[in-house]
Amino acid sequence: MHEFGIADAILAKTLEISAANGGASVERVQVLVGGLRQLVPEMLEFAFNALAAETAARGAALDVELAPVRVVCRNCEHAFEPDDLFWTCPVCGTCGANAVTGDELILKSVTLADVAPETASARPEPSGEKGR
């Protein structure tokens, strides 16, 4: 399933940020995903929550924003956002434009719980996990 690979990439980056902040737990993650990736936001949230279950991002809210696909006509170079599957140019009617955006996967923001690093050692969670 496509969404799990993307969720995994988002989670890896999120946990990096968490680790750089003393392993603070993650409250919210905002991502921008290009429309070309053809994913279902609900599926991505589901996959993210499943993968995050054992991590500092457990229970974090995932906000998925879909970025529009933008293409450029091969004939007249008009840039537009296609609203059909054929990417028909609204100016000259040519099919099959070139995609310029829509393949993004951007981690827009990660909100961490307001945990002071000093109190982290008092928590029962093991903190000795080593990186690769």
Q: How far is the CB of 116 from Zn ion (least distance, A)?
A: 57
Based on the shown chain and the rule CB under 5 A, indicate whether residue 76 belongs to the binding site for Zn ion. yes
Residues 78 and 70: beta-carbon distance below 8 Å = no
How many CB atoms lie under 10 A from the CB of residue 52?
22
Based on the shown chain and the rule CB under 5 A, indicate whether residue 73 belongs to the binding site for Zn ion. yes
Number of residues that bind Zn ion (CB under 5 A): 8
Based on the shown chain and the rule CB under 5 A, indicate whether residue 71 belongs to the binding site for Zn ion. no
Interaction residues for Zn ion, span 82-121 (CB under 5 A)? 89, 91-92, 94
Structure tokens at 113: 């719980």
Q: How far is the CB of 80 from Zn ion (least distance, A)?
A: 8
Residues 106 and 32: beta-carbon distance below 8 Å = yes
What are the helix (H) ranges across 1-132? 2-20, 41-52
How many CB atoms lie under 10 A from the CB of residue 4?
15
Q: How far is the CB of 96 from Zn ion (least distance, A)?
A: 10
Binding site for Zn ion (CB under 5 A): 73, 75-76, 78, 89, 91-92, 94
